[in-house]
Amino acid sequence: MKTNYLSLVNEVALLFTVLLFSSCQGQTQRNHTANAKLIGGGCDGCELMYIGMPRQIKAIDTSAGWAEKGQKLLISGTVLKRDGKTPAPDVVIYYWQTDNKGYYSPRKGMDKRALRHGHIRGWVKTDQQGKYAIYTIRPATYPDRSEPAHIHTSIKEPELPTEYYIDEFVFDDDPLLISKKRESLENRGGSGILKPSVSGDLQIAKHHIILGLNIPNYPPEH
């Protein structure tokens, strides 16, 4: 029994490790897999936003992580068109993140194609004023502390044929967000650095997104 138990523990640990690094690898190798003709230059993994996507998507979403251990977090803001002023309705934002232990942990019954994004994933669609809100928890950094804690995000505009990624949401108070890492951010859609404030047991962060900003091959007339 003891041998079987240790074998099971090792298998679970291996699964978490594979999910962790396959998700991270999909992000760090984006530029290598990019197609120069695609809006955004391509994104390895962003296409998984369509797996399990609800037919009706609301402007407010509560992630699976909200009911789990971790620092509760509310991210809200406005998505604007390329002029940085006009609200953009019906824009889908897909997000995925680690749990409070730093893993893209699976959940029973998940579609196997989306396992590398973990079970804390979801969608919001901006309302007529371009507003959105996400209730979740702050993700933990990877167990090896190789990256600042972050939430991956990709965008699907209603009038564009493909999705594209924007800057990951990172946190201004994260000690791993050192100067070198800050300088490496692409500012796609605007800075992804969140500056949370505290309200009771909730952290609140505003984040506005400008469509097309620093996005390669973005239609100039859009």
Reported confidence tier of residue 23, pLDDT bands at 50, 70, 90 = low
% of residues, the chain, pLDDT over 70? 84
Q: Are strands 197-199 and 202-206 parallel, antiparallel or unpaired?
A: antiparallel
- What does pLDDT average to over the chain? 87
- Classified as helix, coil or strand, 74 is strand
pLDDT band at 181 (very low <50, low <70, confident <90, very high): confident
pLDDT of residue 2: 42
CA-to-CA distance for 80 and 210, rounded, in angstroms?
5
Whether the pLDDT of residue 29 is over 80: the answer is no
**pLDDT score, position 35:** 57
Burial environment of residue 97 by CB neighbours within 10 A (0 to 12, 13 to 18, 19 or more): buried
49-69: pLDDT as tens digits: 999 999 999 999 999 999 999
d(CA 117, CA 110): 10
Cβ atoms within 10 Å, residue 68: 15
Task: Residue count of the chain, please give it.
Answer: 222
The pLDDT assigned to 90 comes to 98
pLDDT band at 102 (very low <50, low <70, confident <90, very high): very high
pTM of this prediction? Answer: 0.85
pLDDT at 5 > cutoff 50? no
